[in-house]
């Protein structure tokens, strides 16, 4: 009964989404306040029904209702409760429901925080988000219904994919979707602006916090995914250029460009058409990512059901949303006039440079991801594009971006003096260059890639430091008082840029200096690696809730002193028969030691993989700083003041009309 | 004209994505196609003492359907197979990695589409055939050569599009 209620709730949600998508937009075009007023209640109603549907599905999973096909395929009675809950979105159908639910969360947030917007703007934004929701709800109901019954019911489920039975996977998909779907707000604002023809600094100020928050979630989602791959896939890699990863990385690159471009549009009123195009692009790439992952067009480590019928539906939806918005863009963009001039050496110009390189990098990732598809479609054979391509094209494009990150914030709007800036930064440049050149020599000789990465990271950090020093020089009061006067948007930007430097350090050091050995080990054998000694103490069987495992014990010594004991596992999941490797990791600030079990050779002898991974934790630490910076910037009091001022103005206006 | 560029880029992309939907990235040409079906001798389910080898089916075109009682997709496929069997298609089952021996009871309950089912309990024959999951179906011709492999459940549409033309050709 509950699944049927969930199904019915989805149908009602679809109808409400249609109302939310059509009436307010028509109302806004005709200036009809009654129609526009439908937007908020319809959005709230739609959200309530999507939430009910989600709760119904979660209930089916938690109660092991194997008469529901989705549950039977993706859950198992002995699965721990928390995974039974996350299995709700572990399947294709469930993840679409999560997508729609999160779209509802964003829409409700917009209805709450848009009181200060002109009514027609708010109606259009909410309406566009309603139309996006229509697409997803229809997709679910017509091709991917999560509530289909299985007759006869099966006594036991197929189990959740063991790869996903992991704490990281509990929060990774919701974070990622918060990011993907969050870009729908910027998209809706852009389409609303194109529809109304009003695109000004206020528009950019409204869009900015939404975009930054979405970007923050996406950053966290990608970082969690990378961390999960690192400890769960058992070979210690942290980025694979897998199509699914690229699908999340492309909107991130476009979103990063969008954040910077919005800043220019807000402060200076330029790049308007470009900003609108970026807002459309960022969300289009989120949808494209969903399409690539869900349609099975590309093969990936993430195996999902493939079904051309579904693919055609999403593609048609993509055509309507992306094609429609780009058509609107082509039609309306010429009306947007940009104001304000700037010289080639100004903050505007540097941010434009940042945008060009970021979008070029995004383009190369897109090309690399779809190239196998292009070749196959033209009958030129099956090929795969891997890390060699991506590293070869991506690093050269990101190098100038990273170089500009350091100086962009130091350069004034409109125009600045290059020689003067060069004088200000000459010591930072020299110190970064010399340190980066010499540091690798102290390790294992010259290493140009390591030097390049270290130079860029140090250069960014010095740029951040210079930014603080110059701001503080002119502020009154003591050091702490001075720091407290700096606005959150400034803190946010600086922390995010420092975070980027931290990511670069992590990526550079771990790529150039990690060490790895595969060895055959019996009880009592040891292997030395990077100054660590790994002593294999043997394995013993362990029973998990839904798996049996062989758990190894490896003691790690440094200078004859024990520093850690790690327990890598080889698990065999009962229902699916899949074998999973759980790495044993000792985390540290400057290094991880990472041990995973390969194949058993006899009762006591195993192939053991040991890794020394210097600075690998900096990748995720830096990503966290990036996200933290985004959060701080989005909570800048400027946005809150603007909100209060508008509310007050509206209140005064209301009183005026009454008096 | 410049403002139409993003739209044009998207249209080109969409065309390729559409074409891509009808290509299967996972369908790397199987090395088994065009080769003789790997030989095996396995006990026949429900007929103690009896065994089956691919050589026993020589002289007819037959399907080898790899399935398992624990596989939900196989249940989805089951009614389709029943119809095919009723229309005279020779389907042999390979009961893959059925450690608990549930297959026989299941077939007794829901009906068997198979001429016979062999029991590959430890999954070795499956490995010889390059099976990565269930269900998978092989078409084997009169000379015992594998002519096609289909991964995933057979639906009526897939049957009409992928199987029927090849089977017609092989039967003549």
Domains of chain A with CATH codes: 1-165 (no CATH), 515-615 (2.60.98)
Q: List, in order, residues 6 or more apart from A378 with CB less than 8 Å away.
A: none
CA distance B20 to chain A (A): 6
CB contact under 8 A, B17 and A315: yes
Q: Which of B3, B22, B72 sits opposite A73 (nearest CB)?
A: B72
Residue at B161 is within a domain: yes
Q: Which of A410, A594, A628 is nearest to A503 (CA)?
A: A628
pTM of the model: 0.82
Q: What is the pLDDT of residue A629?
A: 95
Q: How far apart are CA A312 and CA A316, in angstroms?
A: 6
A536-542: long-range pairs with CB below 8 Å, 24+: A536/A606, A536/A608, A538/A604, A539/A597, A539/A600, A539/A604, A539/A606, A542/A569
Contact A390, A368 (CB under 8 A): yes
CA distance A367 to chain B (A): 10
Residue at B11 is within a domain: no
Q: List, in order, residues 6 or more apart from A561 with CB less than 8 Å away.
A: none
Q: What is the overall mean pLDDT for chain A?
A: 87
For residue B32, what is the DSSP state?
T
Q: Which of B14, B16, B18 sits opposite A374 (nearest CB)?
A: B16
According to DSSP, the residues that pair with B67 across neighbouring strands are: B95
Q: What is the pLDDT of residue A297?
A: 67
> A278: nearest CA in chain B?
B6
Q: Which of A53, A75, A58 is nearest to A4 (CA)?
A: A53
What is the CB neighbour count within 10 angstroms for residue B33?
13
> B24: nearest CA in chain A?
A297
Half-sphere exposure of residue A517: CA atoms within 13 angstroms, side-chain side: 11
Q: List, in order, residues 6 or more apart from A554 with CB less than 8 Å away.
A: A534, A535, A536, A537, A565, A566, A567, A568, A584, A595, A608, A610
CB contact under 8 A, A374 and B4: no
Angle (CA) B49 B72 A70, round 5° = 165
Q: Which of A73, A334, A377 sits opposite B20 (nearest CB)?
A: A377
Q: Which of A73, A281, A315 sits opposite B18 (nearest CB)?
A: A315
Residues of B with Cβ-Cβ distance to A372 under 8 angstroms = 25
Q: Which of A299, A312, A334 sits opposite B25 (nearest CB)?
A: A299
Q: Domain range holding B153?
A: 33-171
Contact B119, B56 (CB under 8 A): no
In B, residues 78-107, which contact A (CB 8 Å cutoff)? 97
Q: How far apart are CA A250 and CA A289, in angstroms?
A: 8
CA distance A159 to chain B (A): 10
Residues of B with Cβ-Cβ distance to A69 under 8 angstroms = 72
Residues of A with Cβ-Cβ distance to B25 under 8 angstroms = 296-299, 372-373, 376, 382
Q: What is the pLDDT of residue B26?
A: 54
Q: What is the pLDDT of residue B29?
A: 60
Pairing of strands A547-558, A584-586: unpaired
Residue A441: is it exposed, middle or buried by C-beta count within 10 angstroms (0-12/13-18/19+)?
exposed
Q: Per-residue pLDDT tens for A551-597?
A: 999 999 998 899 999 999 988 888 777 778 888 999 999 999 999 98
Pairing of strands A569-573, A547-558: antiparallel
Q: Where are the beta strands (DSSP E) in A569-627?
A: 569-573, 579-582, 584-586, 591-600, 606-614
Residue at B67 is within a domain: yes
Q: List, in order, residues 6 or more apart from A323 with CB less than 8 Å away.
A: B7, B10, B11, B14
Domain CATH for B53? 3.40.30.10
Q: Which of A25, A296, A18, A56 is nearest to A136 (CA)?
A: A18
> B22: nearest CA in chain A?
A308
Contact A213, A109 (CB under 8 A): no
Q: How far apart are CA A27 and CA A36, in angstroms?
A: 5
CB contact under 8 A, B14 and A373: no
Q: What is the pLDDT of residue A502?
A: 96
pLDDT tens for chain B, residues 1 to 172 = 778 888 999 999 888 888 877 766 555 566 778 888 888 999 998 888 899 999 888 888 999 999 988 777 787 788 889 999 998 899 999 998 887 778 888 888 888 999 999 998 888 888 888 887 778 899 999 888 998 888 878 888 888 888 998 888 888 7
Q: How far apart are CA B81 and CA A114, in angstroms?
A: 57
Residue at B46 is within a domain: yes
What is the CB neighbour count within 10 angstroms for residue B46?
15
CB contact under 8 A, A277 and B97: no
In A, residues 361-390, which contact B (CB 8 Å cutoff)? 370, 372-374, 376-377, 382
Q: How far apart are CA A268 and CA A498, in angstroms?
A: 25
Q: How far apart are CA A289 and CA A172, in angstroms?
A: 16
Q: What is the pLDDT of residue A657?
A: 43
Residue at B97 is within a domain: yes
Residue at B167 is within a domain: yes
For residue A322, what is the DSSP state?
I
Kindly list the strands in the beta sheet with A515-521, ordered across the sheet, starting from the edge strand earlier in the chain. Answer: A515-521, A606-614, A591-600, A584-586
B31 shares contact with chain A (CB less than 8 Å): no
Q: Which of A290, A253, A263 is nearest to A207 (CA)?
A: A263
Q: Per-residue pLDDT tens for B50-61?
A: 999 998 888 889
**Which residues of chain A are under the pLDDT cut of 50?**
300-305, 654, 656-659
Contact A129, A107 (CB under 8 A): yes
In A, residues 572-611, which contact B (CB 8 Å cutoff)? 575, 577
Q: List, in order, residues 6 or more apart from A553 with CB less than 8 Å away.
A: A536, A537, A538, A539, A540, A565, A566, A567
CB contact under 8 A, A298 and B10: no
How many domains in chain B? Answer: 1
Residues of B with Cβ-Cβ distance to A377 under 8 angstroms = 16, 19-20, 23
Residue at B64 is within a domain: yes
CB contact under 8 A, A372 and B26: no
Q: How far apart are CA A480 and CA A471, in angstroms?
A: 13
Residue at B15 is within a domain: no
For residue B35, what is the DSSP state?
S
Q: What is the pLDDT of residue A305?
A: 44
Q: What is the pLDDT of residue A55?
A: 96
CB contact under 8 A, A372 and B25: yes
What is the CB neighbour count within 10 angstroms for residue A89?
27
CB contact under 8 A, B18 and A280: no
Q: What is the pLDDT of residue A533?
A: 93
């Amino acid at each position: 009964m509950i699944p049927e209620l969930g199904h019915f709730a989805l149908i009602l949600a679809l109808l409400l989404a249609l109302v939310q998508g059509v009436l307010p937009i028509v109302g806004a075009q005709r200036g009809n306040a009654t129609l526009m007023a439908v937007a908020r209640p319809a959005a709230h109603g739609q959200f309530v029904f999507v939430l009910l549907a989600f709760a119904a599905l979660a209930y089916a999973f938690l109660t092991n209702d194997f008469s529901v096909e989705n549950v039977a395929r993706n859950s198992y009675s002995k699965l721990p409760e928390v995974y039974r809950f996350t299995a709700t979105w572990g399947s294709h159908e469930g993840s679409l429901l999560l997508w729609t639910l999160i779209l509802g969360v964003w829409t409700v947030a917009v209805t709450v925080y848009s009181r200060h917007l002109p009514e027609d703007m708010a109606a259009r934004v909410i309406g566009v988000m309603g139309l996006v929701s229509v697409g997803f709800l229809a997709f679910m109901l017509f091709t991917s219904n999560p509530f289909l019954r299985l007759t006869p019911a099966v006594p036991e489920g197929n189990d959740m994919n063991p790869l996903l039975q992991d704490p990281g996977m509990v929060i990774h998909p919701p974070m990622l979707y918060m990011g993907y779907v969050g870009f729908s707000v910027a998209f809706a604002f852009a389409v609303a602006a194109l529809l109304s023809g009003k695109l000004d600094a206020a528009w950019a100020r409204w869009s900015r916090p939404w975009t930054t928050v979405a970007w923050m979630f996406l950053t966290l989602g990608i970082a969690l995914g990378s961390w999960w791959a690192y400890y769960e896939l058992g070979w210690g890699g942290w980025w694979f250029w897998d199509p699914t990863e690229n699908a999340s990385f492309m909107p991130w690159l476009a979103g990063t460009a969008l954040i910077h471009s919005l800043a220019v549009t807000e402060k200076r009123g330029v790049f308007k058409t470009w900003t609108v195009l970026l807002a459309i692009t960022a969300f289009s790439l989120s949808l494209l990512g969903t399409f690539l992952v869900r349609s099975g067009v590309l093969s990936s480590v993430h195996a999902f059901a493939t079904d051309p019928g579904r693919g055609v539906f999403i593609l048609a939806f993509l055509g309507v949303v992306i094609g429609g918005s780009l058509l609107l863009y082509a039609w309306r963009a010429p009306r947007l006039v940009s104001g304000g001039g700037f010289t080639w050496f100004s903050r505007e110009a540097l941010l434009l440079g940042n945008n060009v390189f970021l979008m070029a990098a995004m383009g190369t990732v897109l090309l690399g991801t779809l190239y196998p598809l292009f070749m196959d479609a033209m009958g030129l054979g099956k090929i795969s594009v891997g890390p060699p391509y991506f590293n070869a094209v991506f690093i050269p494009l990101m190098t100038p971006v990273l170089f500009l990150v350091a100086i962009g914030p130091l350069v004034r709007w409109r125009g600045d003096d290059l020689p003067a800036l060069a004088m200000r930064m000459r010591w930072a440049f020299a110190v970064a260059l010399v340190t980066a050149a010499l540091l690798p020599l102290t390790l294992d000789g010259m290493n140009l890639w390591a030097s390049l990465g270290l130079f860029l990271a140090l250069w960014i950090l010095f740029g951040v430091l210079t930014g603080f020093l110059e701001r503080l020089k002119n502020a009154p009061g003591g050091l702490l008082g001075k720091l407290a006067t700096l606005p959150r948007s400034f803190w946010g930007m600086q922390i995010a840029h420092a975070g980027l430097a931290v990511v670069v350090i992590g990526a550079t050091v771990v790529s150039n200096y990690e060490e790895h050995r595969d060895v055959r080990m019996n009880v009592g054998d040891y292997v030395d690696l990077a100054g660590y000694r790994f002593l294999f103490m043997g394995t013993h069987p362990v029973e998990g809730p839904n798996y049996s495992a062989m758990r190894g014990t490896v003691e790690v010594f440094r200078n004859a002193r024990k520093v850690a004991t790690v327990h890598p596992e080889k698990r065999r999941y009962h229902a699916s028969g899949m074998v999973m490797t759980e790495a044993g990791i000792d985390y540290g600030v400057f290094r991880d030691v990472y041990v995973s079990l390969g194949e058993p050779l006899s009762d006591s002898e195993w192939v053991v993989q040991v890794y020394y991974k210097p600075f690998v934790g900096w990748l995720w630490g830096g990503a966290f700083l990036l996200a933290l910076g985004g959060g701080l910037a989005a909570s800048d009091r400027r946005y809150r003041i603007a909100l209060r001022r508008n509310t007050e103005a509206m209140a005064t206006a209301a009183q005026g009309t009454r008096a | 004209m410049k403002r139409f560029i993003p739209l044009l880029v998207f249209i080109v992309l969409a065309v390729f994505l559409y074409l891509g939907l009808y290509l299967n990235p996972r369908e790397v040409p199987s090395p088994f196609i065009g080769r003789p079906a790997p030989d095996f001798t396995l006990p026949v389910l429900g007929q103690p003492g009896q065994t089956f080898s691919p050589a026993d089916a020589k002289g007819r075109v037959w399907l080898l359907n790899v399935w398992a009682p624990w596989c939900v997709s196989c249940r989805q496929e089951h009614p389709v197979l029943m119809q095919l069997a009723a229309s005279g298609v020779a389907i042999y089952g390979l009961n893959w990695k059925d450690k608990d021996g549930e297959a026989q009871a299941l077939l007794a309950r829901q009906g068997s589409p198979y001429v016979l089912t062999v029991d590959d309990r430890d999954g070795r024959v499956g490995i010889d055939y390059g099976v990565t999951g269930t269900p998978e179906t092989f078409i084997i011709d009169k000379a015992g050569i594998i002519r096609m492999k289909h991964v995933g459940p057979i639906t009526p549409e897939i049957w009409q599009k992928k199987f029927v033309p090849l089977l017609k050709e092989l039967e003549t």
